[in-house]
Amino acid sequence: MGLKSFVDVPRDSHFPLENLPFGVFRPAGGEPARPGVAIGDYVLDLAAIASAGLFDGPVLGNHSQCFLESSLNLFLGMGRPAWKEARLTIQRLLSADEPTLRDNASLRKKALLPMSEVEMLLPVVIGDYTDFFSSYYHAKNCGTMFRGPENAVSQNWYHLPIAYHGRASSVVISGTDVIRPRGQGHPVGNSPPYFGPSQKMDFELEMAAIVGPGNELGRPVGVDEAADRIFGLVLMNDWSARDIQAWEYVPLGPFLGKSFATTISPWIVTLDALEPFVCPAPKQDPPPLPYLAESKHTNYDIHLEVCIKPAGHEHPSIVTKSNFKHLYWTISQQLAHHTINGCNLRPGDMLGTGTISGPDPDSLGCLLELTWNAQNQLTLNGTTRKYLEDGDEVTFTGYCKGNDYNVGFGTCTGKLLPSIP
């Protein structure tokens, strides 16, 4: 039996008492943005709970003003003791046999808001965003397409989690429209390069770790301490213009083919909520260098799905199903590697996992792989796709399956609009 809340939680909800993900919302009526926690179809207003003096534990008792902020950065910077205390307090306040909130009608009305009536915002101010390349299947497929099967996965890939620095300014919250970027593509023959709207618009199925307490410049984080620096995970769509990327990315890596937009889901699911879904990570051969060797090499069993709803279609079509557990390099290894040179991370920084492809043809994490760079096409409910078309709405879903409950991420969605003329 799952935990029981006095708030009605539908059976298939992503947000039961076991989850309690954190986000930032704006209530209807123009009140300022503030942190909240999802419970069923409701948002618990943490500013209201803090103002009522209900965060009264040893860590948050004198510091609950972190919940009066318009981002979670301050709370994230306080670290695991504060996160654990907040989670336990909220779990107790929402449970069926705890009268404090349950029997206080005026506080309940103030603090529990229907999710359908609030606007979700970016949960953190993202100072820096890094995107990794940590699925073996994704690396192998891209490499096979671009370099042939003999040189598909380069030697360095097996020894370090490869990444590029992404663009934090264009990270947007789920529901934000994305404008098809214009840019340069490969020249054909003796012509100048193509310039115009990207003709190869893609999604990338990713998740991202949101950093809690950072590290001081010059002080790397050990791989076994790395998980304590990570608050939780969100779904992430690293929208990619494959034609722009292919022409620009040698030798310095992705630039304008990626930096026009990256969408994240609004609710950060904490590593504490994901703990029951820990599973072994893929065996690493060759063994990683000592600074990347973790005493527990584990992932989380998170089911992931992507669907596309073309303009005018009533229903979305599922185009792929994958799982977070396929990541070869774990988020702890990514964070340890990121800081090994002394680079400092700060609260709210975002580390994308890289496209999460699985081993099977129907578990590939982007259209580049699913259509083998437009050599094949997907069938969607009577129409076909090689790459995305204007009006396509792309939605990611992610959830962990408990005995009779889900710990879910909700959705990460965005609609592709035509490029500017």
Ligand X SMILES: O=C(O)/C=C/C(=O)CC(=O)CC(=O)O
Q: Is 228 exposed, middle or buried (0-12, 13-18, 19+ CB in 10 A)?
A: middle
Q: Catalytic residue, from 14, 63, 138, 326: name it.
A: 138
245 labelled ligand-binding: yes
Region near Ca ion per CB under 5 A, out of 59-67, 80-88, 182-190, 233-241: 233-241
Count of beta carbons in the 10 Å neighbourhood of residue 250: 7
Is 355 near ligand X (CB under 6 A)?
A: yes
Peptide bond into 251 cis (omega under 30): yes
258 labelled ligand-binding: yes
| Cβ-based nearer residue to Ca ion, 5 or 135 | 135
Q: Which residues pair with 205 in a beta bridge?
A: 237
3-state secondary structure of 31: coil
Tell me the residue type at 97.
D
Choose which of 6, 75, 133, 137 interacts with ligand X (CB under 6 A): 133
Give me the least distance between CB of 129 and ligand X, in Å please: 12
Active site residue 138: yes
Is 240 near ligand X (CB under 6 A)?
A: yes
Number of residues that bind Ca ion (CB under 5 A): 3
Q: Which of 397, 403, 224 is nearest to 319 (CA)?
A: 397
Tell me the residue type at 384.
T
Q: Which of 326, 317, 117, 79 is nearest to 207 (CA)?
A: 326
Give the x/- contact pattern for Ca ion in 99-138, rule: CB under 5 A.
Answer: --------------------------------x-------
Distance CA 37, CA 24 (A): 8
Give me the least distance between CB of 142 and ligand X, in Å please: 4
CB 195 within 8 A of CB 241: no
CB 411 within 8 A of CB 396: yes
Distance CA 267, CA 22 (A): 5
Q: Is 32 exposed, middle or buried (0-12, 13-18, 19+ CB in 10 A)?
A: exposed
131 labelled ligand-binding: yes
Q: Which of residues 234-293 bind Mg ion (CB under 5 A)?
A: 238, 258, 262
Choose which of 8, 96, 146, 193 interacts with ligand X (CB under 6 A): 146
CB 42 within 8 A of CB 9: no
Region near ligand X per CB under 6 A, out of 141-149, 218-226, 285-293, 401-409: 141-149
Sorted by sequence, the CB contacts under 8 Å of residue 239 that are 6+ apart come out as 178, 201, 202, 203, 204, 258, 260, 261, 262, 263, 414
Give me the least distance between CB of 130 and ligand X, in Å please: 11
Is 202 near Ca ion (CB under 5 A)?
A: no
| Cβ-based nearer residue to ligand X, 57 or 143 | 143
| Cβ-based nearer residue to Ca ion, 204 or 392 | 204
Is 215 near Mg ion (CB under 5 A)?
A: no
Region near ligand X per CB under 6 A, out of 14-22, 26-34, 142-150, 186-194: 142-150
Region near ligand X per CB under 6 A, out of 22-30, 140-148, 394-402, 403-411: 140-148
Distance CA 71, CA 76 (A): 10
Tell me the residue type at 264.
I
CB 416 within 8 A of CB 394: yes
| Cβ-based nearer residue to Ca ion, 85 or 131 | 131
Point out the residues that are catalytic.
138
Annotated binding residues for Mg(2+): 238, 258, 262
Residue numbers at the binding site for ligand X (CB under 6 A): 131, 133, 142-143, 146, 204, 238, 240, 254, 354-355
Annotated binding residues for Ca(2+): 131, 204, 206, 238
Residue numbers at the binding site for Ca ion (CB under 5 A): 131, 204, 238
